[in-house]
């Protein structure tokens, strides 16, 4: 008798399927708004930054190299840093520090 009262009156403890589905959709929504949506926004901003690169922009690569853009192609960017020129993939530009 004592065990039956803890189990919910002998009903077997079955969960409502609608409540389970609502909880599952709630967790999916939480993950979407906390993880996926901000990541997609950051990706869009980075793509926009890469599209708007121009000669004379002072950029920092993902690897930390700082330089000025001297030449652009569809795939690569030539960056002058000091007396050296290096070629970097456009996607590896981390940020634009300032323009000329």
In this prediction, residue 1 carries a pLDDT of 45
pTM beyond 0.75: the answer is no
Residue 45 shares a structural domain with residue 26: yes
Residue 67 shares a structural domain with residue 99: yes
Residue 66, SS3 per DSSP: strand
Q: Is the separation of the CB atoms in 58 and 98 below 8 Å?
A: yes
Residue 69 shares a structural domain with residue 34: no
Per-residue model confidence as pLDDT tens for the chain (100 residues): 445 444 444 455 577 888 889 999 999 999 889 988 999 999 999 999 999 999 999 999 999 999 999 999 999 999 999 999 999 999 999 999 865 4
Residue 65 shares a structural domain with residue 97: yes
Domain that holds residue 75: 54-100
C-alpha to C-alpha distance for 40 and 29, rounded to whole angstroms: 15
Residue 59 shares a structural domain with residue 43: no
53, 55, 57, 59: CA torsion to nearest 10 = 70
Residue 38 shares a structural domain with residue 75: no
Residue 98 shares a structural domain with residue 72: yes
C-alpha to C-alpha distance for 80 and 66, rounded to whole angstroms: 9
């Amino acid at each position: 008798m004592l065990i039956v009262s803890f189990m919910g009156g002998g009903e077997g403890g079955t969960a409502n399927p609608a409540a389970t589905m609502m909880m599952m959709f709630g967790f999916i929504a939480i993950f979407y708004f906390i993880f996926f949506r901000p990541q997609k926004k950051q990706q869009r901003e980075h793509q926009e930054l890469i599209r708007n690169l121009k000669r004379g922009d002072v950029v920092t690569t993902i690897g930390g190299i700082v330089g000025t853009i001297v030449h652009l192609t569809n795939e690569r960017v030539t960056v002058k840093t000091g007396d050296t020129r290096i070629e970097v993939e456009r996607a590896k530009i981390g940020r634009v520090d300032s323009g000329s």
